[in-house]
Amino acid sequence: MDATEILQQGLTELAEVLEARRVPYALIGGLAVGYRSLFRNTEDIDLLLSVPQLVLPAVLEDLKARGFEFDLPTVIREWNSHGMTALRYQGIQVDWLKPPLPCVQEVIDTATAEDWLAVPVRVATVEGLIVLKTFAMRLQDQLDISRLLAANRGLLDIDASVPLCNRVCRTTIRVFRNSKT
C-alpha cells in the first residue's frame, strides 16, 4: 500500500473503533481540510476527541488489535496530563487532541458523518476547522484558512463561526488571567 492508502485504511480503522465505542470525535488537520476544500498533501491523521477515562483502555486495546502501535502507559499518561498523544499505524502518525477548552467541544459536536471511505467518518465542519486554525495560526493554518474560505465561498455559516470564535477567545483570556495568580 502507498501512503495515501495507509492513511485511508488507518482512518477507516479509527472511525470503526470510535463509532463502536461511541467516542465523540472529529477529523481535523490536513485530511479534514483536504476533504472540505482542495486536497493537500498530509502525512498524518489528526483527531479531536473526547474519550471518557473509563473507555480509554478498551479503545486502545481495540486499536492495538487493528494494528496501531503505541506504548499503553505512555499514551494514557500523555492523554491524562497533556491532553494529547500520538499513535502509529503502519508508520503513519495519528495525533489525538482533547478539546483544550470546553468551548472547542462544539467542533466535535457539530462534526458531520461523511461517506468518504469504507465507513462514515466524522469530519469537522468548515466553520469548526477555521476556528481551530485561527486558534493555532501557524503558517500552514493560515494557508488552510485561505483554502477553506476559497472552496466554500458563499456556503459558510459566519453567524455560527463568530460566536464560537468569541467563546474561544473569551475562555482563553479567562484561563490566562486565572493562571497568572
**Domain spans in the chain, listed from the N-terminal domain onward:** 3-179
pTM: 0.88
Task: Name the average pLDDT for the chain.
Answer: 90
Strand locations in the chain, DSSP E? 25-28, 44-49, 68-69, 84-89, 92-97, 112-114, 121-123
Note whether 145 and 133 are within 8 A (CB): yes
Q: Which helix (H) or strand (E) holds 38?
A: none
| Angle at the Cα of 13 from the Cα atoms of 11 and 19, rounded to 5 degrees | 95
Given a cut of 90, is residue 100 above it in pLDDT? no
Q: What is the dihedral of CA 52, 53, 54, 59, to 10 degrees?
A: 70
Tens digit of pLDDT for each residue in 151-166? 998 888 766 666 666 6
Residues 44 and 14: their CA atoms lie apart, in Å, by 13
Strands 44-49 and 92-97: parallel
* Cα dihedral across residues 60, 62, 88, 148: positive or negative: negative
Q: What pLDDT is attached to residue 180?
A: 59
Q: What pLDDT is attached to residue 144?
A: 94
Q: What pLDDT is attached to residue 74?
A: 96
* Mean per-residue pLDDT, 109-113: 96
Tens digit of pLDDT for each residue in 120-131? 999 999 999 998
Residues 53 and 27: their CA atoms lie apart, in Å, by 20
Residue matched to cell numbers 482563553: 172
CATH architecture of the domain formed by 3-179: 2-Layer Sandwich (3.30)
* Mean per-residue pLDDT, 99-127: 91
Given a cut of 60, is residue 181 above it in pLDDT? no
Q: What pLDDT is attached to residue 154?
A: 87
Q: What pLDDT is attached to residue 1?
A: 84
Which pLDDT band, with edges at 50, 70 and 90, does 76 fall under? very high
Given a cut of 70, is residue 176 above it in pLDDT? no
